[in-house]
């Protein structure tokens, strides 16, 4: 079953995974034709590092277009403007979210996702819940919404957490830690009001990944920070 990881910038990790993939297949091609397949082999007979039935599949997704992307393309100096603090998605960004959501549903991937990991910034969480969240949230539903109405002045309806995988916010997924105002985040207390069903406690990460050794900056995710 896939494990979904949503990053602010996945280019380095994608490059690393592609390099590993190419190296693995290069080594497999060097095997003797007489070698005997083992339980570590794929169905095609090529060797892998770890049995596939023990592995999780990661899908890396970049956030949709944010207002900082538009302004930065016009004038790179705008990145230092606090008008772009914790930039949200543009209307085009939300269209990109809707298109990806349709693709994920049509491919059947939405039914197989076990976990969504997202960096704690408005634009990344908007992208995550827009693509992998439930339908529009309605009053009377006995579950907190993944996103409340009009977050980031988006004019978007609240998004339900029903029939959705768990969502957790992880500080270390951020590409930059506040280098520019657009990359600075709000307090977790503010985010919890905006995205009630996203877990900022890391408790689910421990459930999925066991006892983790977390860096000190992970403590920024504690409520009230």
The residues carrying an active-site annotation are: 63, 175
Q: How many CA atoms lie within 13 A of 213 on its CB side?
A: 0
Is there a contact between 109 and 93 (Cβ–Cβ < 8 Å)?
no
**How far does Cα 187 stand from its chain's mean position?**
19
Rounded distance, CA 163 to CA 110, Å? 10
Nearest to 127 by CA among 63, 191, 193: 63
Quick one: tokens of 61?
Answer: 């997704």
């Amino acid at each position: 079953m896939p494990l979904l990881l949503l990053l602010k910038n996945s280019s380095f990790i994608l490059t690393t995974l592609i390099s590993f993939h190419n190296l693995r297949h290069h080594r497999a091609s060097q095997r003797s034709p007489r070698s005997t397949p083992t339980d570590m082999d794929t169905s095609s007979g090529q060797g892998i590092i770890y049995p596939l039935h023990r592995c999780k599949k990661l899908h890396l997704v970049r956030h949709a277009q944010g207002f900082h992307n538009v302004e930065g393309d016009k004038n790179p100096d705008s990145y230092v403007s606090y008008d772009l603090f914790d930039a949200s998605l543009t209307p085009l960004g939300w269209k990109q979210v809707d298109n990806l959501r349709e693709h994920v549903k049509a491919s059947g991937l939405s039914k197989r996702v076990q976990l969504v990991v997202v960096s704690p910034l408005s634009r990344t969480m908007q992208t995550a819940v827009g693509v992998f969240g439930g339908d529009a949230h309605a009053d009377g539903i006995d579950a907190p919404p993944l996103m409340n109405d009009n977050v980031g002045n988006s004019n978007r309806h609240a998004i339900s957490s029903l029939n959705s995988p768990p969502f957790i916010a992880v500080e270390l997924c951020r590409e930059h830690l506040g280098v520019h105002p657009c990359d600075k985040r709000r307090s977790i207390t503010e985010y919890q009001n905006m995205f009630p069903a996203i877990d900022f406690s890391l408790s689910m990460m421990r459930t999925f990944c066991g006892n983790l050794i977390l860096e000190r900056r992970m403590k920024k995710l504690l409520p009230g920070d």
